[in-house]
Structure 1
Amino acid sequence: MPEKSMQGNLNEIDICSILQLIELGQRTGLLYIEADLEPNSRQRSINLRQYRLLINTPRQISHLSWLIFCDRGEIIYATDFHGSVNSSHSRLDDYLRHYRVKLPSPIIQSASTWQDDFPFNAPEYENLWMLLNQDIINTNQARTILTGLIRETIFELLDIRGGKFVFQEGIKLTPKLDAWEITPLIQEMNQQLRNWQLLFPHIQSPQQLPQLRNPERVRASLPANTVQKLQRWADGKTSLRRLSRMLHRDILVVGKAIYPYVQQGFVQLLPPSSYQLSANFPSHHDQPSRRVLCLGEPIPESLQSILLAKGYQAIAIPNSSDSLLRLFDIQPNFILLHVSVCDDKIYDLCGMLRYSQTFKFVPIIILCPEDGYINRVRAQSSGATDFLSIPCQDSELIMLIEKHLNHHVHNHVQQNQHLSIAVNIK
């Protein structure tokens, strides 16, 4: 076993930072990430040598985990590990369905792709190479499948909250089919995740199972070919993620395609089964996080508690020279700007945000200690969504946040619906 490793808690460092450290150091090795489904469960250490035992032992899992293999600071393979090796077999089968290829059984269990001193293998990756070596699929098809496997893994990882990780340096997965640069991949998946969150609350997780709600009503309301497609795919057994693999479509495209039918009540989305639970699917006590950022002033504890209970993440940053950079880094869904902190400059900042593509449509409320016609006009001319004089009641501010945030999400989803209807589900 190689000696060099780093490990830690995801409450202290996020996934993006870990991957960027691997990229900057041009490191080769295996990154194992574990997210607890039970936040209050007892913390335990991670031992990579237990992997072979774990994947062959049926159990009721209390955590989700992922593996990312890196070579010289680039990703060469990534997979989830949410229970057993059979889930990986199913994942590859889903991708192969598009090419009308069936993965032979049983799964390969050789350790030829590993260093001799490491005690487990990567069956999904080995099976992909087996199909390639036997000319069942070609190089382009193998690369496309591998790209999909990596993208969906990163998509899940970027939305997890807390957990543990360990990076073991020196573990090398061979042969290498291709490599993906980390920074562009993270940027692309972050943007996809932000667009996916616009489908909340109607669609929340790629692991939800679409099911036709009222077949008779659907047949009476929709064209025959649309009904046929919905009956074929919305069976209550196939997740949105599996549909995206089998249809050879991006998960966001599939989500947008099914969205109008969910919104109109033709399709319902069932929760995933226990082994499919994903960090992207919030529980009753963990609603989809929406980031409310307050520039300049600490957020009162009373307001923080209310925001948290309603599923918001409250973030406060001081007004400083790097505030604008931090705004772009945090990517808030809602912004509160305090005039009392930076005086007239707050209106200039609001105007700058409105000119940026990133914050063009993000709701911005200007909080001002002086209520008056001139201040309200200045707020409106700078592009602010609304104006509120302070001090104010927490309930008043919460009401304003929910009003504009819900309106913002609804408008963006409406803008995307024409794309959803145009998607051709085979």
Structure 2
Amino acid sequence: MTVNTSTTNSLVKEIEICQQQQFTGRLEVIATDNQQWSLYFCLGRLIWATGGVHLIKRWERLTTQYCPQISSQKHVPKNNWDLGEYQLLISLVKKQEVKGEEAVRVIRNTVTEVLFDLLQQEQLGQLTFTRSRQNLSNASLTLLNPKHAVLYSSQAWEKWCKAGLKNISPNAAVLLSQREQLQQHTSAPVYKTLVKIVDGERTLRDLAVLMKQDLLLVTRLLNPYIRQGIMELIKIGDLLPPATGNGLENTLKAPVKTPTTKGAKDSPLIACIDDSRIMGQLMENILTGAGYRFVGIDNAVEALPVLLESQPSLIFLDLMMPIANGYEVCSQIRRISQFKNIPVIILTGNDGIVDRVRAKIVGSSEFLSKPIKPEQVLAVVRKYLPLFSDKKKIDTQR
């Protein structure tokens, strides 16, 4: 294993070394903010790249674009989101569900996106590289020339910088924050289109694919609105791992380890989805102390199966969680028929207008700022579950 840390054109130099030494294995790249990427080589040639903030989003976008005949919801890597996607492509080609040239397009564009993100990340701080040898004898789809791949991504990055977009990440989502101003600055057809697609959930890359336009062109078109404050660029987390099976709801009913519910048997059940166990314990104490049943979920990936199993009357949902944030989870909740009208209360320490607008867009019912206060939590619960509150008062009076 070889570890190297550098700042000046470090990515290009490291890839050149891998090519010159005919390296076979994994080149792991770690940024100062702990983001990670992996580049895979076979005899000095690139075969795959992965990592960054949107592994699942990227897989869904590129397979939808280049292999529309398959479902990204059903064709999910079984082992991990690292080399698993590449192995899945190999399997799909062997089964003749995907043509070889279609798989190569997915690979080429995945590598291009990852290299672009790394070139941009390199402007922000130091990158650390770790090379580890690995048997990649099943690299049977394509062997990309690293020099050509880097050149292509470097040219795209150079054009991006010349357009004044150096500080804009193509992984940022665009949120429309000033509808009236947008209407004043655009024609009716353009306004109608932008209102529909600029929803705070689609990244610039997603919008480019949706509009069937070049990424640079789409970003340059939207940038004036961003500069005027009509639109906002926001960071979003990755999608939840796609469900596998014949339908989302059926799949999510698969056996899962459901946390034990606590509280009075006949009282409403309230769920809290928060990766902080301390926060979960605090919410449990507040709610069970007030007579409600409680179920805590500290893993966003397990949230939907647990909710389907337990059927809560109200959900508290943390905004910032690893793998999938509150926006993605709330969107998934609203797609399930029995949860369309259930109260979903967003919890966050970042109480900004953009967060509030976006939370409303994805279907949240309320916005509660951290650090939470027991009286605020109970006030929100009583607002949405008044019948139980009234019944409890009557029982107390007796």
Query: What's the TM-score, normalizing by structure 2?
Result: 0.52
Q: Supply the distance in 2 between the matched residues of 1:25 and 1:64 (Cα, whole angstroms).
A: 26
Equivalent residue for 2:105? 144
Which residue in the other structure is 2:50 paired with? 79
What SS does structure 2 have at the residue aligned with 1:69? Answer: strand
Determine the structure 2 residue equivalent to 1:95.
62
Cα distance in 2 for partners of 1:17, 1:176 equals: 26
Matched residue type, 2:46? I
How many pairs align?
Answer: 234
From 14, 31, 40, the counterpart of 1:18:
14
Q: How big is the shift at 1:109?
A: 2.5
Report how far residue 206 of structure 1 moved: 1.4
- Which has the higher relative contact order, 1 or 2, with Cα contacts under 8 A spaced 6 or more apart? 1
Please give the per-residue CA displacement for 1:247-293, whole angstroms capped at 9, x wherever unaligned.
Answer: 565432332232233345442222x13679xxxxxxxxxxxxxxxxx
| Residues 382-408 of structure 1: per-residue CA shift (max 9 Å, x gap) | xxxxxxxxxxxxxxxxxxxxxxxxxxx
Query: Matches of 1:202 and 1:229 in 2, distance apart?
Result: 27
* Aligned counterpart in structure 1 of residue 84 of structure 2, from 113, 119, 123: 123
Q: Work out the CA distance in 1 between the residues paired with 2:78 and 2:149.
A: 30
**Could you tell me how far apart the structure 1 residues matched to 2:211 and 2:89 are?**
19
Whole-angstrom CA distance in 2 between matches of 1:121 and 1:212 = 33
Cα distance in 2 between the residues matched to 1:128 and 1:258? 34
For residues 273 and 103 of structure 1, the distance between their equivalents in structure 2, rounded to whole angstroms, comes to 20
* Cα shift at 1:227: 1.7
| Structure 2 contact 10–127 (Cα < 8 Å) conserved | no
Query: Cα–Cα, structure 1 residues 26 and 175, in superposed 2: closer, same or farther, change >3 Å?
Result: closer
Aligned twin of 2:5: 9
In the alignment, structure 1 residue 68 sits paired with structure 2 residue 39: yes
Q: Separation in 2 of the partners of 1:192 and 1:79?
A: 19
Question: What residue is the counterpart of 1:304 in the other structure?
Answer: none
Q: CA 1:175 to 1:104, structure 2 compared with 1: closer, same or farther past 3 Å?
A: farther
User: Is 1:171 aligned to 2:132, yes or no?
Assistant: no
Q: Secondary structure at the match of 2:223?
A: helix
Gap regions ≥5 residues in structure 1: 38-62, 112-119, 277-426
Write the deviation string for residues 194-245 of structure 1: whole angstroms up to 9, x where unpaired. Answer: 2212344696111222122322332343223322331232111211133345
Identity over aligned residues, as a percent? 18
Pairing 1:260-339 to 2, within 5 Å after superposition: 260-270=224-234, 272-273=235-236
Q: CA deviation at 1:70?
A: 0.8
Post-superposition offset of 1:32: 0.7
Q: Supply the distance in 1 between the matched residues of 2:233 and 2:86 (Cα, whole angstroms).
A: 31
2:147 counterpart residue number? 183
Alpha-carbon spacing, 1:254–1:203, altered in 2? closer, same or farther (3 Å): farther
**Does the 8 Å contact 1:95/1:248 carry over to 2?**
no
Question: How far 1:150 sits from its partner (Å)?
Answer: 0.3
Does structure 1 retain, via aligned residues, the 8 Å contact 2:2–2:130? Answer: yes
Distance in 1 separating the partners of 2:132 and 2:77: 24
Equivalent in the alignment of 2:179: 215
The residue type equivalent to 2:236 in the other structure is S
Query: 1:107 Cα shift?
Result: 3.1
Distance (Å, rounded) in 1 between the aligned partners of 2:151 and 2:130? 23
Q: Secondary structure at the match of 1:228?
A: helix
Q: Which residue of the partner structure matches residue 344 of structure 1?
A: none
Q: Is the 8 A contact 2:29 2:128 kept in 1?
A: yes
Provide the rounded CA distance (Å) in 1 between the counterparts of 2:147 and 2:177.
41
* Structure 2: distance between partners of 1:229 and 1:268: 17
Residues 67/100 of structure 1: CA separation in 2 closer, same or farther (3 Å cut): same
Measure how far apart 1:106 and its partner are.
Answer: 7.3
Match of 1:206 among 170, 173, 176: 170
Maintained 8 Å contact 2:26/2:40 = yes
Label 1:218 to 1:110 Cα distance change in 2 as closer, same or farther (>3 A): closer
Compared CA separation, residues 129 and 226, structure 1 to 2 (3 A): farther
Q: Give the aligned partner of residue 257 of structure 1.
A: 221
Alignment of 1:108 with 2:77, yes or no, is yes
Per the alignment, do residues 192 and 32 of structure 1 end up closer, same or farther by CA in structure 2, a change over 3 Å counting?
same
Q: In the TM superposition, what is the alpha-carbon distance from 1:66 to its structure 2 partner? A: 0.6
Closer, same or farther in 2 for the Cα pair 1:182/1:201, shift >3 Å?
closer
Using the alignment, how far apart are the partners of 2:97 and 2:19 within structure 1?
33
Q: Which residue of structure 2 aligns with residue 157 of structure 1?
A: 118
Cα separation, partners in 2 of 1:12 and 1:230, compared to 1, 3 Å: closer
Contact 2:25 2:133 in 1 (8 A): yes
Letter in 1 for 2:61: D
- On the 8 A contact 1:109/1:121 being kept in 2, the answer is no
Task: Sort the Cα spacing of 1:244 and 1:256 in 2 relative to 1 into closer, same or farther, 3 A.
Answer: same
Deviation at 1:69, TM superposition (A): 0.7
